[in-house]
Amino acid sequence: MRLPYVDATDPNAFTTPEESAIVARVRERRAPRPLQPLDLTLLHSPAVADGWNSFLGAVRTKTSLADDVREIAICRVAVINEAWYEWGHHAPLAKAGGVSEDGMKILEESVLSGKKGAELTEKQWAVVHYTDAMTRDVAVKDDIFAELKKHFSEQEVVEVTATVAAYNCVSRFLVALDVGEKNGVKSQAH
């Protein structure tokens, strides 16, 4: 951790009703879990924490994407960006969403180079390749986009794209500030 986590229980930490309301909104989204190290870092800037909470809350919980699709995108971003704190939170959700053990091993490989196999469905592979292209190259080649479009509606394409983009933001924040103290070193993720 490069910044100390905010002590959200400190009565002097948030001095205005607006800041207290922001903390309450973040707590509400996280409930029944406590605030996470990510929240406690973001709360150094309550306005940023508030926008983050709203945006990431929508991406995480208000899209039409199936759990496996959403978590595959998030897990691939985490692996590529070496955000092992992020991987640690989302790999169990990917498994719970239906990604097989073999599929999880594939997701954890840093470079796949166009790989395809029975570990993932065609639809899941389309998400992996799209996530890899967005994360590594930013620009997505037409053939990769066409493969994604074959499996998803326009709404879902927007939602997959927003998920990949949002979690690239999350991973970069986590790694730059070493939130969770588990980034950059894969062995610490397990």
Tell me the per-residue pLDDT of 132-172, one tens digit each, with 9 for 90 and over: 999 999 999 999 999 999 999 999 999 999 999 999 999 99
CATH number of the domain to which 105 belongs = 1.20.1290.10
Task: Indicate if 95 and 171 belong to the same structural domain.
Answer: yes
Among 107, 145, 109, which Cα is nearest to 126's?
145
Task: Indicate if 110 and 128 belong to the same structural domain.
Answer: yes
Task: Indicate if 171 and 137 belong to the same structural domain.
Answer: yes
Any domain includes 169: yes
* pLDDT tens sequence across 169-180: 999 999 999 998
Of 57-61, 85-89, 115-119, 123-127, the poorest mean pLDDT is in 115-119
pLDDT recorded at residue 182: 67
Task: Indicate if 86 and 143 belong to the same structural domain.
Answer: yes
Domain that holds residue 22: 17-61
Any domain includes 2: no
pLDDT recorded at residue 118: 87
Task: Indicate if 35 and 122 belong to the same structural domain.
Answer: no
pLDDT band at 190 (very low <50, low <70, confident <90, very high): very low
pLDDT recorded at residue 188: 46
Task: Indicate if 109 and 176 belong to the same structural domain.
Answer: yes
3-state secondary structure the chain: CCCCCCCCCCCCCCCCHHHHHHHHHHHHHHCCCCCCHHHHHHCCCHHHHHHHHHHHHHHHHCCCCCHHHHHHHHHHHHHHCCCHHHHHHHHHHHHHCCCCHHHHHHHCCCCCCCCCCCCCCHHHHHHHHHHHHHHHCCCCCHHHHHHHHHHCCHHHHHHHHHHHHHHHHHHHHHHHCCHHHCCCCHHHHC
pLDDT recorded at residue 27: 96
* pLDDT tens sequence across 65-74: 999 999 999 9
Task: Indicate if 49 and 124 belong to the same structural domain.
Answer: no
Q: State the pTM of this model.
A: 0.92
Residues 6 or more apart whose CB falls under 8 angstroms from that of 90 comprise 71, 74, 75, 78
Task: Indicate if 90 and 46 belong to the same structural domain.
Answer: no
Task: Indicate if 22 and 116 belong to the same structural domain.
Answer: no
Any domain includes 84: yes
Number of domains forming the structure of the chain: 2
Any domain includes 28: yes
* pLDDT tens sequence across 6-60: 999 998 999 999 999 999 999 999 999 999 999 999 999 999 999 999 999 999 9
